[in-house]
Structure 1
Amino acid sequence: MLAGILISAAAMTAIVAVRYVLSSGGFAWATSRVRPGLYRGLEPQIRKEIGWSLASAAIYGIPAGVVAWGWQEHGWTRIYTDWSAFPLWYLPLSVLAYLAAHDTWFYWTHRLMHRPKPFRIAHAVHHASRPPTAWAAMSFHPWEAVTGAVVIPALVFVVPIHVAMLGLVLTIMTVMGVTNHMGWEMFPRWLVHSRLGEWLITASHHQRHHDLYKCNYGLYFRVWDKLCGTDRGLARP
């Protein structure tokens, strides 16, 4: 049993690390084409971002590996593979439920990380990226990485989700995590400044957080920022 858990944890750690390298590397390459010179002179910072991120990959990979093992070997989770197990309308609803729950957890833990002591101990690592780059998406102190690593593994024990929809959630999480930090707006202006864009977080919104610190704490949606009066609008990355 222990060997199976260790193999699964190691495999998931490798998958998270490779996913990080490919996604952050891909968007860093895109940045070099779309915004030439944007990361010029940031090579020492980027090396630190990569180092912290690869450490975070293990912290994310271990609980994910344990959960994956439990699902495959014992059916511990609410992950399902039969498309007919739930109505088709439930598929997008489950994705939205996961994103909303993750966003809520992230907002409040992120605000907590900006309290003086947690910031000094942990969150300062992430904000050492000035300005953040595409490589900074997982650049966390281990204590902060733990708070992010437990959310999705915990949700799969509570909220049913098709394995393909879970893959979509993880894809959205990865893309948003990288693009929100890369220093320029990937999404078109018509979307960012639309009624829908008023409720979505993109690079323009998250850059404001890195500029001002005490605002724009959300991950996917601006709902909690608007409800709690911490939304300070958009920067111009």
Structure 2
Amino acid sequence: MPDISYLNNVMHYLSRLPALSAGLIFLIENGLITLLVLVFGKIIQQKFATAPFVPYTYTRREWQICILTNFLNTLITYTGFWLWKHGIIRMTTNISLTIFKDFLLLFFAMDLLMFIFHYLIHKSLLYKFVHQLHHQAINPKPIDLFILHPIETISFGALWLILLLIYPFNIYAVIIYLIINVLFGMTGHLGIEPLPAKTRNLPLIKYLGTSSFHHNHHLKEDYNYGFYTSIWDRLFGTFR
């Protein structure tokens, strides 16, 4: 059985840190995630682009919004940490099949909640004042994962925290989910499709939110509201 003492030690160490120190660690963590998305996103684009890759740079405004999103994501991370530290959010640390079960529960629950939120924001005045910022990218680039209105960033984070508040997920399931969440976010904003059509049509893969799936949403905003899967769009008639 894997040794879980290291993770427990890390959690114990973080819980004893002053708020400013813990917040700084979470800010560095979010900054590193952003850097990895931007670097690996461009590498994938260059490797799998079907047309000659056109180099691009990010504008000052894009960097400003991206940095703001990172600060807000850090605030959300710290809020979850504070709630866990005070026993309001509870998580298990055992190594068992619970990890797989909790990951699937978190994955599909977040997929459904984000689909509902995404659909409603498109069908209300919030689109013009909030979500339209993200849809300025017709052909998205990796940084567009972080080009979000502050209200949208906080709302997505709140959905995640609500789930953690009502169910004691396994911490390893949470970590796996967060990694998968970043991977889906990055691939959805590549502007190209790295997976060949044959792979995308495999029995399980065809229900996932591939790069093409989300790119089509940027092109045709009335379709493909899902994030990780196309299940809800297929059920509610918004799949393209």
Instruction: Please give the TM-score of this superposition, normalised by the length of structure 1.
Output: 0.85
Question: Hey, what does 2:7 align to over in structure 1?
Answer: none
Is the contact between residue 48 and residue 192 of structure 2 (CA under 8 Å) also seen in structure 1?
no
Question: Hey, what does 1:8 align to over in structure 2?
Answer: 22
Question: Hey, what does 1:81 align to over in structure 2?
Answer: 93
After TM superposition, give the deviation of residue 131 of structure 1 in Å.
1.1
Q: CA RMSD in A?
A: 2.2
Of 184-193 and 198-207, deviating more is 184-193
Matched, 1:18 2:32: yes
After TM superposition, give the deviation of residue 44 of structure 1 in Å.
4.8
Amino acid at match of 1:68: F
Matched, 1:56 2:69: yes
Identity of aligned pairs, percent? 22
After TM superposition, give the deviation of residue 185 of structure 1 in Å.
1.6
Deviation string 1:113-147 (CA, Å, 9 cap, x unpaired) is 21352111111110111310112112101111111
Is the contact between residue 4 and residue 69 of structure 1 (CA under 8 Å) also seen in structure 2?
no
Matched, 1:65 2:78: yes
- Pairing partner for 2:45 from 31, 34, 45: 31
Matched, 1:97 2:105: yes
Amino acid at match of 1:19: I
Question: Hey, what does 2:117 align to over in structure 1?
Answer: 109
After TM superposition, give the deviation of residue 231 of structure 1 in Å.
0.4
Is the contact between residue 26 and residue 74 of structure 2 (CA under 8 Å) also seen in structure 1?
yes
Structure 1: segments with no counterpart, 5+ residues:
233-237
After TM superposition, give the deviation of residue 150 of structure 1 in Å.
1.4
> 1:226 & 1:19 partners in 2: Cα distance?
31
After TM superposition, give the deviation of residue 55 of structure 1 in Å.
1.0
Is the contact between residue 98 and residue 170 of structure 2 (CA under 8 Å) also seen in structure 1?
no
Deviation string 1:1-20 (CA, Å, 9 cap, x unpaired) is 9x934443343233112211
Instruction: Please give the TM-score of this superposition, normalised by the length of structure 2.
Output: 0.84
Structure 1 residues 210 and 168: CA distance shift in structure 2, 3 A = same
> 1:55 & 1:37 partners in 2: Cα distance?
32
Amino acid at match of 1:136: D
Structure 2: segments with no counterpart, 5+ residues:
1-14
Is the contact between residue 13 and residue 65 of structure 1 (CA under 8 Å) also seen in structure 2?
no
Is the contact between residue 48 and residue 194 of structure 2 (CA under 8 Å) also seen in structure 1?
no
- Pairing partner for 1:179 from 187, 204, 216: 187
Is the contact between residue 44 and residue 194 of structure 2 (CA under 8 Å) also seen in structure 1?
no
Structure 1 residues 39 and 115: CA distance shift in structure 2, 3 A = farther
Matched, 1:215 2:215: no
- Pairing partner for 1:120 from 124, 128, 148: 128
